[in-house]
Amino acid sequence: MRMAKGSRKTKETTIELSLNLDGRAYNEIQTGIGFFDHMLNSFATHAGFDLLVKVQGDLNVDGHHTVEDTGIVLGDAFAKAIGDKSGIARYGSFYVPMDEALAFCALDISGRPFLVFDAPLESGQIGTFDACLTEEFMRAFAFHAGITLHLRILYGKNAHHMAEGLFKALGHALRMACVESGEGVLSTKGSL
């Protein structure tokens, strides 16, 4: 089984996390930010991952440290769980329609972290979640997971729908990229 645990303790956050890439979408998520819990649950459910997350963050300041640090720990756990990347499909892409919004994700589990984020989520709140933290989470996750990640909202008006579409599209694209092919590393170089 491709599983990993991760933790992080700073003056701003305390995080404990468990990830199973071959799970049954069993999730227990407690970050203290309701909408963020919903996004992580949506992500893990659509990826087919088991995800257990418990976070205590300095929410009296705002949600930034909680969201970014969760992305860091989740990315680190993903990198551990996927291992040397041999025998996986490596690439994944997916569109998710959420009512009036259309979200897209394309990714490469390459070991070369990069983020392209093209979504109008720079301001405003979704519940107690700052919409701009969607990009912060995605950056932290991509860089610590070692993936090249492209996310885009093609169109949409409702910030809830746009953010949720991105998290679900990420889940589906990762599900595709993590599929075990039984072959070596998918690279002309022979390694990633």
- CATH code where residue 135 lies: 3.30.230.40
Whether residue 126 lies inside any domain: the answer is yes
| 192 residues of the chain, pLDDT tens digit each | 799 999 999 999 999 999 999 998 899 999 999 999 999 999 999 999 999 999 999 999 999 999 999 999 999 999 999 998 988 999 999 999 999 999 999 999 999 999 999 999 999 999 999 999 999 999 999 999 999 999 999 999 999 999 999 999 999 999 999 998 877 665 555 555
Whether residue 192 lies inside any domain: the answer is no
- List Cα–Cα distances, 48 to 22, 45, 135, 160, 175, in angstroms: 7, 5, 22, 22, 7
Structure pTM? 0.94
Closest CA to 109 of 83, 135, 136, 72: 83
Number of domains in the chain: 1
Whether residue 80 lies inside any domain: the answer is yes
Please give the residue range of the domain that contains residue 58: 3-177
Q: Which helix (H) or strand (E) holds 101?
A: strand 101-108
